[in-house]
Amino acid sequence: MAIFFFQNKKSPRTSNILLSLLLLVFATLVCCSLIISLRLGPVHKIYSRLVILFGQAAYLVSPLFFFYIRSLLNVNFSFQKRYTVHFIPFFAAFIYTFFIIQTLGNNNVWTYPGRFLILTGIMAQNILYLIASWKDIRSYGLTLRLFLSYIDNSRLSWMRYFTVGYILLWSAQLQLFIGWDILRHPEWCPYGLSLYFVTAFLFFNGILFIALRKPESFYHVQKYQSSVLKQEDKDLYKDKLIALMNDEKLYLNPAVVLNDFAQRLDIAPCSVSQIINESFQQNFRDFINKYRIEESKQMLVQQNQNLNILGIALDAGFNSKSAFNNAFKKHTGITPKEFKKKSSAFSS
């Protein structure tokens, strides 16, 4: 899978490399766990040394995950030299264990000096980078509820799957760390390692399933490559489009379509779509619904408004209550009723 993503030319290069490296690190860690499970360490001293040394690759998981999520959020993301400071813990742990393993015997995989501190650092690092990744996601306007429920965007769905899988793998590693290194119950280790293997097995096969079923999740095709619109044309039509929305309120028409805007602006429908996509970072439906949601908010906060939720939805340009509820929750994170209650409590 790492080789496949590394050779994938249909998505940003940085994103491909980060995902390939992350999968290689996961493969390395699973191999280390496999060597421990098969008890190859006591057979030859070199196996114990390799497990300890390459096990420090766990320090690479969190930074790679963090930058990979950032590359999914921003297709123009590029890895800069200053980001290498994030990998200092890995190099420090690798160098330390390289010298430590020279003095170890065959059975020191679990008890080498400094093991507890190194594993504690890995656990803490995972939490810190997960929090940092979530802050990045929040900076793009995604609440937890929207992040867990939004399904229209294949890249966002893939990012959600990868994040949840990362958390589950970390949880499996955490319970193994608690069982052996904190509570000192070696009898838990076979179960802990088995859980880790099962979680990793499901996670990696899930990646393979998504790659086969929804390959567009890993692709980023540059749109509008053949467009003849210049930047000054985009800016001009953007202003005209905003004027149409504010002055004529075309969004109040439930049957409004892209061609209606194209006729008003006297340009091709694909050009209108391009302007909306590039200038507002939205598709046509989300662009229209954003105005409708703002219109409905004004109706919801009016205390003398006798319309019910359905009436407000129809007046704002939606053709059904369910469509209104879904769009409202997608844009605000709460339902229209919850918004009305909050605004009523605030005004009182």
* Percentage of the chain exceeding pLDDT 90: 16
Average pLDDT of the segment spanning 42-71: 85
333 versus 11: the higher-pLDDT residue is 333
* Percentage of the chain exceeding pLDDT 70: 84
Q: What is the pLDDT of residue 183?
A: 82
Average pLDDT of the segment spanning 285-311: 83
346 versus 251: the higher-pLDDT residue is 251
Instruction: Kindly list the structural domains of the chain, giving each domain's residue range(s) and its CATH number in brackets, ordered by start.
Output: 2-218 (no CATH), 231-347 (1.10.10.60)
Instruction: Read off the pLDDT of residues 304-316 as tens digits, 9 standing for 90 and up.
Output: 556 788 888 888 8
Instruction: Read off the pLDDT of residues 180-223 as tens digits, 9 standing for 90 and up.
Output: 778 877 777 777 778 878 888 898 899 888 888 877 667 655 55
Q: What is the pLDDT of residue 25?
A: 93
Q: What is the pLDDT of residue 120?
A: 92
Taking the C-alpha atoms of residue 206 and residue 169, their distance in angstroms, rounded to an integer, is 13
231 versus 89: the higher-pLDDT residue is 89
Instruction: Read off the pLDDT of residues 11-54 as tens digits, 9 standing for 90 and up.
Output: 667 888 898 999 999 889 888 877 777 766 555 667 777 888 89
Q: What is the pLDDT of residue 38?
A: 75
Residue 239 DSSP SS3: helix
Taking the C-alpha atoms of residue 180 and residue 168, their distance in angstroms, rounded to an integer, is 19
The answer to whether residues 237 and 267 touch, using CB atoms and an 8 Å cutoff, is: yes
Taking the C-alpha atoms of residue 94 and residue 290, their distance in angstroms, rounded to an integer, is 51
Q: What is the pLDDT of residue 108?
A: 62
Single-letter residue type at 131: I
Q: What is the pLDDT of residue 222?
A: 54
Which range scores top for mean pLDDT: 53-62, 145-154, 171-180, 232-241?
53-62
Taking the C-alpha atoms of residue 140 and residue 8, their distance in angstroms, rounded to an integer, is 26
Instruction: Read off the pLDDT of residues 87-129 as tens digits, 9 standing for 90 and up.
Output: 999 999 999 988 888 776 655 666 778 888 998 999 999 999 9
φ, ψ of residue 285 in degrees (nearest 5): -65, -45
pLDDT bin (cut points 50, 70, 90) of residue 61 is very high
Q: What is the pLDDT of residue 47?
A: 74
Q: Other C-beta atoms within 10 Å of 178: how many?
A: 14
State the pTM of this model.
Answer: 0.62
Torsion of CA 335, 339, 345, 348, to 10 degrees: -150
Q: What is the pLDDT of residue 224?
A: 58
